[in-house]
Amino acid sequence: MKPFDLHIYTRLIFGPENADRFAKAVTGIGKKIFIVTGGGSVKRLGYLSEMQTLLDAHDADYRIFSGIEPNPQARTINRAAREATGFGAEVILAFGGGSVMDASKAIAALVHDRENDIWPFVLGGERSGKLTGVIPIAAIPTTAATASEVTPYAVISNDEVSGKAPIGYPFMRPVVSWLNPAYTVKLPQETTRDGASDILSHMFENYILGGDVSPLADRYCEGIMAEVIDTLPKVIADPENLHLRGVLLWASDLALNGYQQVGRYPSGFPLHAMEHAMSGYKTDLAHGRGLATLYPAYFRWLIDNDRATGRFAQLGRRLFGSDTGSDASDATAFVLAFEAWLRENELLQSVTDLGIPEEAWPQIAEYTVKVYGDGKNLNVLGALGVTDILDIFRRTESQSVAANA
């Protein structure tokens, strides 16, 4: 095992029965609460009014900012931060999906540092790494996907430059998060599917590239992967089942709370790098959908280039029961079985199916290596450059729903 330093900072409160416990925790941090929401679903479904009632019972003073878009835009974050500063916010309460939570972290940083624009602080920006703190953050996730409610990361978009890049500091973890599966039961099925894809990605990135050095982390990830693979179709068939919704919501946090990577080599998250560049170009692309599109092609590219074949073989044996006696065959069996699962759960398509034309691919590939690599390559157990990214994109075309209809 490799050395590690693990600090899991966020207090997690689970279950609909703990509403008042969460409200008490938030108002114990500060009474002036700036609530950040997305496109309106939390209001339309009555969730926001429930939270307002809870906060009123604890004598909170709050203001609501609505309109954080999917793949949150820097300009919207900047506007929200100005409002939060003017309000005198003591706590930022994120109430929504991953985009809302990511935006809230950036808002909290701008308010704390008295800054006006988040974009210079993202990876690759001229002030990257220069933020100094946040005002306290609380979170209520309404999707089982990104686990932003427990992580120190946020991903910010800027459609003025077709850019999408992360920021991350230990101090960006929320102080407290409420995991209420009841807030996920009305999700569109497509969003539920995309979320499961995202959950799996956080374990794949660490498991595949992190080396055969942390057997407990392997078993930890395999258990969560198996449960997500098993649970997603059950949730689609029974979407208001709180137990199943709770399994996915808790799995999302377990997949990115730090335990999935302890004792491993760092992975660099190259799959995320490629997808972030894709959804920076096409800003309405759901992160989990983009990841699902890349999975089979990326996995085959790694195996064809003799990178991490043994790791894929182990997944084939432990997740899907493959036992051919050959790493190469078991690795291929894993990709085929997982590809079939993606297809069965309506997660398989090509890059062009996503609305990203082939003429845009070089721009996306170049952005990927510029922002997430050394300018020429990503480090994926060796170099992965622009031509390799284009190869991976081309490989997805065999998955095309439109072409195979």
Judge if 41 and 169 occupy the same domain.
yes
Look at residues 184, 215, 245 and tell me which one is the last residue of a structural domain.
184
Give me the mean pLDDT over the 42-69 stretch.
Answer: 97
Residue with the two structure tokens 């946090």 = 253
Say if residues 98 and 148 touch (Cβ distance below 8 Å).
Answer: yes
Q: In 275-397, at which residue ranges do the beta strands (DSSP E only) sit? A: 377-379, 383-385
pLDDT at 383: 94
Mean pLDDT of the chain: 96
Judge if 144 and 266 occupy the same domain.
no
CATH code at position 160: 3.40.50.1970
Q: Is the predicted pLDDT of residue 358 greater than 90, yes or no?
A: yes
Give me the mean pLDDT over the 281-298 stretch.
Answer: 97
pTM (predicted TM-score):
0.96
Judge if 349 and 393 occupy the same domain.
yes
Q: Is the predicted pLDDT of residue 404 greater than 80, yes or no?
A: no
Max Cα distance, the chain (Å): 65
Between vectors from CA 104 to CA 200 and to CA 44, what angle results, nearest 5°?
85
Please report how the helices 74-87 and 98-113 are oriented relative to each other, as an axis angle in degrees rounded to 10.
50
d(C-alpha 248, C-alpha 235), whole Å: 9
CATH code at position 283: 1.20.1090.10
The range of the structural domain enclosing residue 21 comes to: 11-184
Give me the mean pLDDT over the 307-326 stretch.
Answer: 97
Judge if 118 and 266 occupy the same domain.
no
- State the total domains in the chain: 2
Judge if 177 and 264 occupy the same domain.
no
Q: What is the pLDDT of residues 230-271, one digit of tens each?
A: 999 999 999 999 999 999 999 999 999 999 999 999 999 999
Backbone angles phi, psi at 43, to 5 degrees: -75, -45
- For 153, the 3-state DSSP assignment is strand
